Amino acid sequence: MPRSTGPGQTPDAAIPGESTDSTRHRIVATATEEFARHGIAGARVDRIAKQARTSKERVYAYFRSKEALYAYVAARETATLVEATRLDPADLPGYAGTLFDHFAARPDHYRLITWGRLELAESADNTAGPLQATITGKLDKLRDAQRVGLLDPTWDPVDVLALINQLAMTWAGQPEIAAAAADQAADPSITARRAALVTAVERIFPRPV
């Protein structure tokens, strides 16, 4: 039977090598929904076990605690995000659009990660691992783009990445504005929102002439 690892380590079944255990798979799928809806503190292992058609004891046999289960689910979702949103420094508007598409299709992912940022703000594990490595890699790509003239060298690459990421997640993070847009915007569609984002990034970060 798969077991979780020791303190401070990622639980077993390394990503992307997902376990084929159907019970474990149901636990992870159910936990993803539970954490996205209720956060870490509000999530209940008994509710996860019931929805996964198993017992609390079985959940704890795979994951030593609720926090360990969240850590695994968050790492799994982050791996999906990293794979789906590769950065091409020659096409920053396209990268922004890809991020937008991901969160438009997976609003649960945005909520899941946001809960972790809020509830695990003091945890070193919250910024470590694959996501941090991905951020470093994207910053390196932006610096390379500046060296070859694809991006204005006066920008700090950290600012470039932070601004694009935040713009791309604007609608995912402000659903109340999206609801208001249904009545106020000339075209409240997701397509229109995406086009506005891409245009904004094009204007903020034009390729040097």
Please report the pLDDT score of residue 185 as a whole number: 62
Please report the pLDDT score of residue 124 as a whole number: 42
Question: pLDDT tens digit string along 101-135?
Answer: 998 888 888 888 888 878 875 544 444 566 788 88
Q: What is the Cα–Cα distance from 155 to 209, expressed in whole angstroms?
A: 15
Could you say which residues of the chain have pLDDT below 70? 1-20, 121-130, 178-179, 181-187
What are the tokens at 88?
A: 């091409």
Q: In 23-147, which ranges are E strands? A: none
Please report the pLDDT score of residue 30 as a whole number: 96
Contact 58, 49 (CB under 8 A): yes
Architecture in CATH for domain 1-73: Orthogonal Bundle (1.10)
Domain boundaries, the chain: 1-73, 85-209
What 3-state DSSP class applies to 44? Answer: coil
Peptide bond into 107 cis (omega under 30): no
Please report the pLDDT score of residue 182 as a whole number: 65
CATH tag, 85-209: 1.10.357.10
Same CATH topology for 1-73 and 85-209: the answer is yes
